[in-house]
Amino acid sequence: MSDLHPRLLALQRSLAAAPLTRIRDRELADRQLELWIKRDDLLHPIISGNKWRKLKYTLNHALHNGADSIVSMGGAYSNHLHALAFTGKALGLQTIGYIRGERPAHLNATLYDLLDWGMELRFVSRSDYRQLRDCQHYDSLPELQAGQYWLPEGGATDLALQGVAELLDEIEIGFDTLVVACGTGTTLAGLLTSPLTNRAIGVAALKGGDFLIEDVAQVLNKQGLTSHADWRILVDYHFGGFAKTTPALLAFMQDFKQRQGVELEPIYTGKMLFALYDLIRQGYFPAGQRILAIHTGGLQGRRS
């Protein structure tokens, strides 16, 4: 099963390399810190960032299991569904997305893309949506038909961890602390499974993110993988909640783009880097440290 399905191999070959970009600025220089960003946003215009990493082995499992259709869930701006719809089309898999809330009178750009790529959209009430979260196994959605494969919210599966951990094998420099944004915590958990991670900081994109600490620990436990790394999740950089922004966050992102040429989005990567610079200013990192931030993509979300 670990052999990559030929259709996935072909898709993988079409992806670009995700380079490491060194960020140089006064704040880093003054504190004798190095900051590098793993540009997973450059992997592909649509299947960017952690999406490809998380989908790769799960879709491999689905294809080897003979699935012809992937059923998943997400919000109306979901990066996960966006990447899934595109990837499904590229792999010749049908896709169905359960979308949280009522069908809007005017579809947003994300939903249009989903339809364009052939995803069937099923709008469900918020309470039904919450119930879908209880289905965590690929065959656990009750109404699943033959050939359909269930993919939980955010692509949060055990198989996602392996794909995420692979990202670090591409990093050719040593690093002291890794920093990544957290939604479900799967990406952080995957990075923690790598022996290359010694210290990691997750930045929760949503309000009340304390549950993520337990969730990540549980995911690792379930795999029998207690991470040797020293890790924590910062829960105070949500800027009012999931997908909420403030003028300070937007100004930070704009400034970062102007000075460093790296585009961020306000839902995940903007918050992550804002938090990182806040820690730098607080003197959190000892001089001489090399910090590795992961750009998890999601730039399509800026359209909302």
In sequence order, the 6+-apart residues with CB closer than 8 A to the CB of 237 are 203, 204, 271, 272, 274, 275, 278
- Residue closest to 231 by CA, chosen among 193, 192, 196, 204: 192
Minimum CB distance to ligand PLP smaller for 88 or for 298:
298
Which of 183, 209, 266, 270 is in the footprint of ligand PLP by CB under 6 A? 183
Q: Which residue has its beta carbon closest to ligand PLP? A: 298
User: How many Å apart are CA 257 and CA 88, to the nearest integer?
Assistant: 31
Q: Does 49 bind ligand PLP (CB under 6 A)?
A: yes
Q: Residue 186 interacts with ligand PLP (CB under 6 A)?
A: yes
Of 129-137, 181-189, 255-263, 280-288, which part binds ligand PLP (CB under 6 A)?
Answer: 181-189
Tell me whether residue 110 or residue 184 sits nearer to ligand PLP (CB atom): 184
Q: Which stretches does DSSP call E strand in the chain? A: 20-23, 34-39, 69-74, 94-100, 120-124, 148-151, 177-182, 199-204, 230-234, 290-295
Is residue 58 within 8 Å of residue 83, measured between CB atoms?
Answer: no
Separation between Cα atoms, residue 281 and residue 55, nearest integer Å:
36
Which one of the spans 84-92, 143-151, 256-264, 295-303 is the region binding ligand PLP (CB under 6 A)? 295-303
Candidates 237, 268, 274, 285: give the one binding ligand PLP (CB under 6 A): 268
| CA max distance for the chain | 60
Binding of ligand PLP at residue 271 (CB under 6 A)? no
Q: Is residue 185 a contact point for ligand PLP (CB under 6 A)?
A: yes
Stretch that binds ligand PLP, among 63-71, 108-116, 184-192, 256-264 (CB under 6 A): 184-192
Least Å from the CB of residue 154 to ligand PLP? 4
Q: Is 182 an interacting residue with respect to ligand PLP (CB under 6 A)?
A: yes
Closest distance to ligand PLP from the beta carbon of 146 (Å): 29
Kindly give, in sequence order, each residue whose CB lies less than 8 Å from that of residue 178, ignoring residues fewer than 6 positions away.
168, 191, 197, 199, 200, 201, 291, 292, 293, 294
Going by C-alpha positions, the residue among 55, 221, 229 that lies closest to residue 149 is 55
Per CB under 6 A, contacts with ligand PLP among 91-150 are none
For residue 181, state whether it binds ligand PLP (rule: CB under 6 A).
Answer: yes
Instruction: Answer yes or no whether residue 227 interacts with ligand PLP by CB under 6 A.
Output: no
CA distance 60 to 197: 25
**Smallest separation, CB 298 to ligand PLP (Å):** 2
157 binds ligand PLP (CB under 6 A): no
Nearer to ligand PLP, 162 or 186 (CB): 186
Q: Is 266 a binder of ligand PLP (CB under 6 A)? A: no
- Phi-psi sector, 272: left (phi>0), alpha (psi -120 to 50), beta: alpha
Question: Within 13 Å and on the Cβ side, how many CA atoms surround 285?
Answer: 30
Residues in contact with ligand PLP by the rule CB under 6 A: 49-50, 79-80, 154, 181-187, 268, 296-298
